[in-house]
Amino acid sequence: TQLLEQSPQFLSIQEGENLTVYCNSSSVFSSLQWYRQEPGEGPVLLVTVVTGGEVKKLKRLTFQFGDARKDSSLHITAAQPGDTGLYLCAGEVVNYGQNFVFGPGTRLSVLP
């Protein structure tokens, strides 16, 4: 079984602060996705990273894929209440035909 760990599990911060959440595994992935999920809804795709060392930016969110394609980080600059939600990372399993394994998520709360 390939496992993805996420840290921290919970994070509560004030509006305007910066934060980083991590997604780690001992397994190599073909690609890695980050999702945000709000209560009562399905996860919504934020980004896909494919190449080791790749960095992608989405407004105030910066995503990095580790050089060995085993880990990833999500950095949020100047967090806003609208960033509140459950952040999930998912790794695409190598050579297993579009199968993905999910981390347990980081629940972020940004207080005004």
Partner 1 sequence: DAGITQSPRHKVTETGTPVTLRCHQTENHRYMYWYRQDPGHGLRLIHYSYGVKDTDKGEVSDGYSVSRSKTEDFLLTLESATSSQTSVYFCAISGQGGLSNQPQHFGDGTRLSIL
| Minimum distance of partner 1 from residue 43's CB (angstroms) | 5
Q: Identify residues 63-102 at the interface with partner 1 (CB under 8 A).
A: 88, 90, 92, 97-102
The reply on whether position 8 binds partner 1 by CB under 8 A is no
**Cβ at position 63, least distance to partner 1 in Å:** 13
Q: 74, 77, 79: which is closest to 111 by C-alpha?
A: 79
Computed on alpha carbons and rounded to an integer, the radius of gyration of the chain in Å comes to 13
Gap between the Cα atoms of 98 and 110, Å rounded: 34
Q: Which stretch binds partner 1 (CB under 8 A): 20-28, 43-51, 55-63, 65-73?
A: 43-51
**Of 36, 37, 41, 63, the residue nearest 50 (C-alpha):** 63
- Determine if 40 is a binding residue for partner 1 (CB under 8 A): yes
Say if CB 92 and CB 29 are below 8 A apart: yes
Binding footprint of partner 1 on the chain (CB under 8 A): 1, 30-31, 33, 35, 40-45, 48, 50, 88, 90, 92, 97-105
